[in-house]
Every structure is written in structure tokens, then in C-alpha cells.
């Protein structure tokens, strides 16, 4: 499906760009952050919360949804949008990350990845064709090609083999696609080897994918290595297609990724950290640990400059009490705050690019987080 990606503004000092694309469920403005709902929900929140926060698009995971609730349930209940009541766009990862994260429970062949699943030990065989079929059953608006992801620190030969297999699998995904309503993104691999990255993106860009992702980062390399690799990869991806950085990261990673030409991001960090008491404040420039005893009697909001529901209604002391007591309400409240920080940050970035001041925004951000 052609997403009709349109560029509206560029930063004169960086690779940052402002754009929008359209799925069958509506328009998505970029740069954009996608909250992660791995098994069909963003943990602790419902879709009313996400709509109120301004989430334009969310993410689900093929591997996890194929296990629970399973393809039969997804198809019988009309796909994930109908099951959960989400009316906006959705992207699904293909299960490629689990090839790395569940390396002790899978075997890779040219045909695909055979998993002993982590829930009940039953076999799940993901081939490129099966990954596309499952994502069609989920009903996502954007599907990802099945890819072979190697750790950043793996030997060059491992990356070359994974890269070549990823290309072959991507072409099989392209051939297997049947849904006219679903876009398909290819994933660029190559570790932190800049020459491999360049070779792989050129291989994939020669084919009619609807968008391109940078995969295989934030999996063992240093932050400077990640940024340097992104610097030589994202700006060279096709200009007329969305560019997606998978699984990254902190608010600073988002700002730095936009500066390098990235349009789309996802990460579990805002919600996962929230459930443990890790909160982003000052627009994402700083963090606090709410479990710290110094917040026990604190009647201030989490972030005085945050307009989210949590900050407008509850004090740090009360929220800390709920967290220590393991009251279920706290996971929703803290997740609302962290996602609000991320989604407002993306709004601010878009506004800065539109106004021609992203360079100044980036310089001010770097100065603030440095010290």
C-alpha cells in the first residue's frame, strides 16, 4: 500500500524532516513515536488513554500475538483493531527481534526461524511468508519484513550472513504480501559496520517497499556507535519513504535520531520504566526514581511543567505510596505521564522543524542534558 508519504519541511542544519503519511485509518504526522503494545495493549492503559494522549500509531508484535491470542482468535474476532477498539493506525513487528532475544529457544534455517515458544514450549515456525500472513490476520496498517538480527558485537561474518538472509527474506515477504490495505517495510541490518549498512540499504532500496527501517541498533553497541551508524544510514534511505528506527530509545535518542533523518520510533522504555518508578521529567531532559525516599512527603507534581492527567491531579508523595504498595492504579498513572513526555516531545520537535528552528532546539537540548 502506498502511504503517500509527503515531506513538508526540512532542517537546514541537520537531516531532520517534517512529513506525514496516510494509512487506511488516517493520517500520521512525522516525526512520530509509537507506544508499544506487544501483546495487544499498551500495558496499564486502554485506547481511550492513548487517544487522549495524542498517540497517532501504536505497535504490536507478530511473535507474541501469534502465541496469544493466536491466529484463530485474531481472525474470528476481526483483527486486533476490532478486538481492542483501537481506531487509529498500527504497525506490527515481524518477530525478528525475538530471533535475537530468544536465541536459546530458536533455530534458524534458510526457510525461517523455528521457536520453542516462551509460554508453553509449543513450536512456532516463523517463515517470511508466515510472518506476512500473521500480520494480515492481525490487521495492522504497516507490516515489517521478517529479518535476521545479529548482536551489534557479533563478528563481521555473522552480520554479513544475517544481512544477506534478511534481504532474501524481505523479497519473500514482498512476494507473499496479499493485503492491499497493508504497507510493508524492509529492515536494514549490518551492525555498526558502515560499509555493510551502506551495502544493505542499497540492496533493499532497489525494491518497491513502502518504507524502510534501521534495525539492529541498541543491541549491545555504545551510544556513540549507535549515533555514528545512524548518521551514515538514515539519511541515505529513500527520501520519499518513511524511515523507522526500531526499538530506540530515550528522549535524547529520539532527538538525536530526528537530527539524523529518522521519521518513526518505538520503544518500551516509557511504559516499562514507569512501572518500576522511573519517570522522565523536564520534558524528557532528566529522570527521577520515584522509589527514592526523598519523595515520600513531597506534595509537588511529578513534573510542574507537565500538563498530563497524572501531574495535574496527583502528588509525588501519593504516587510513591501507590508504587511502594504495588497498587495497580499507579502503573496506569505513571505510564500516562511518561508517554505524555514522549508524545509532547515529538510535538515540540515537529513544531521546531516547521518553524525552521530545529537546529536551535537540538543545541539547547544537548546543552541541557550535558549539564
Which pLDDT tens digit goes with each residue over 286-303? 999 999 999 999 999 999
Compute the distance between CA of residue 8 and CA of residue 150 in angstroms, rounded to an integer.
35
Of the candidates 88, 209, 207, 211, the one whose C-alpha atom is nearest the C-alpha of residue 140 is 88
Compute the distance between CA of residue 60 and CA of residue 91 in angstroms, rounded to an integer.
6
Among 141, 263, 266, 303, which one carries the catalytic annotation? 266
Angle at 212 between CA 210 and CA 217, to 5 degrees: 160
Instruction: Look up 282 and say whether it is catalytic.
Output: no
pLDDT surpasses 90 at 217: yes
pTM of the model as a whole: 0.97
Q: Where in the chain is the domain with CATH 3.20.20.105?
A: 6-267
Residue 196 has a CB neighbour count (10 Å cut-off) of: 19
List pLDDT tens digits, range 64-121. 999 999 999 999 999 999 999 999 999 999 988 888 788 788 899 999 999 988 888 8
Cell of 344: 509532547
User: To 10 degrees, the CA torsion angle through 164, 169, 173, 176?
Assistant: 130
pLDDT surpasses 90 at 53: yes
Compute the distance between CA of residue 359 and CA of residue 216 in angstroms, rounded to an integer.
27
Q: Give every CB contact of residue 21 below 8 A, 6+ residues apart in sequence.
A: 3, 4, 5, 6, 27, 28, 30, 242
Is 6-267 CATH 3.20.20.105? yes
Residue 14 has a CB neighbour count (10 Å cut-off) of: 18
Among 93, 147, 253, 303, which one carries the catalytic annotation? 93
Instruction: Look up 263 and say whether it is catalytic.
Output: no
Amino acid at each position: 500500500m502506498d502511504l503517500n508519504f509527503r515531506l513538508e519541511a526540512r532542517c537546514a542544519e541537520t537531516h531532520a524532516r517534517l512529513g506525514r503519511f496516510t494509512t487506511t485509518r488516517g493520517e500520521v504526522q512525522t516525526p512520530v513515536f509509537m507506544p508499544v503494545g506487544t501483546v495487544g495493549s499498551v500495558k496499564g492503559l486502554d485506547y481511550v488513554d492513548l487517544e487522549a494522549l495524542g498517540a497517532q500509531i501504536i505497535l504490536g508484535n507478530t511473535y507474541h500475538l501469534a502465541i496469544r491470542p493466536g491466529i484463530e482468535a485474531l481472525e474470528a474476532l476481526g483483527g486486533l483493531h476490532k478486538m481492542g477498539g483501537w481506531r487509529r493506525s498500527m504497525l506490527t513487528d515481524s518477530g525478528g527481534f525475538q530471533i535475537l532475544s530468544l536465541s536459546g529457544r530458536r533455530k534458524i534455517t534458510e526457510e525461517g526461524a523455528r521457536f520453542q515458544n516462551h509460554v508453553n514450549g509449543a513450536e512456532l515456525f516463523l517463515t517470511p511468508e508466515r510472518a506476512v500472513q500473521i500480520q494480515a490476520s492481525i490487521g495492522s496498517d504497516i507490516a515489517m519484513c521478517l529479518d535476521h538480527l545479529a548482536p551489534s558485537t557479533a563478528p563481521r561474518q555473522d552480520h554479513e550472513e544475517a544481512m544477506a538472509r534478511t534481504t532474501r527474506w524481505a523479497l519473500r515477504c514482498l512476494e507473499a504480501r496479499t493485503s492491499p490495505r497493508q504497507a510493508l517495510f524492509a529492515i536494514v541490518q549490518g551492525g555498526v559496520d558502515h560499509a555493510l549498512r551502506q551495502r544493505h540499504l542499497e540492496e533493499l532500496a532497489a525494491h518497491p517497499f513502502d518504507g524502510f527501517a534501521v534495525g539492529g541498533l541498541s543491541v549491545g553497541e555504545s551510544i556513540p556507535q549507535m549515533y555514528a551508524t545512524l548518521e551514515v544510514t538514515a539519511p541515505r534511505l529513500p527520501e520519499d519513504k518513511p524511515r523507522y528506527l526500531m526499538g530506540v530509545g530515550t528522549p535524547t535518542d529520539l532527538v538525536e535520531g530526528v537530527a539524523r533523518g529518522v521519521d518513526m520510533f518505538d520503544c518500551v522504555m516509557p511504559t516499562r520504566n514507569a512501572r518500576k518508578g522511573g519517570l522522565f521529567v523536564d520534558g524528557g531532559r532528566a529522570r527521577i526514581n520515584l522509589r527514592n525516599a526523598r519523595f515520600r512527603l513531597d506534595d509537588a507534581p511529578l513534573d510542574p511543567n507537565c500538563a498530563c492527567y497524572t501531574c495535574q491531579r496527583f502528588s509525588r508523595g501519593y504516587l510513591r505510596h501507590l508504587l511502594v504498595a504495588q497498587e495497580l492504579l499507579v502503573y496506569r498513572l505513571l505510564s500516562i505521564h511518561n508517554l505524555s513526555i514522549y508524545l509532547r516531545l515529538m510535538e515540540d520537535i515537529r513544531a521546531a522543524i516547521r518553524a525552521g528552528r530545529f537546529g536551535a532546539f537540538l543545541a539547547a537540548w544537548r546543552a541541557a542534558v550535558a549539564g
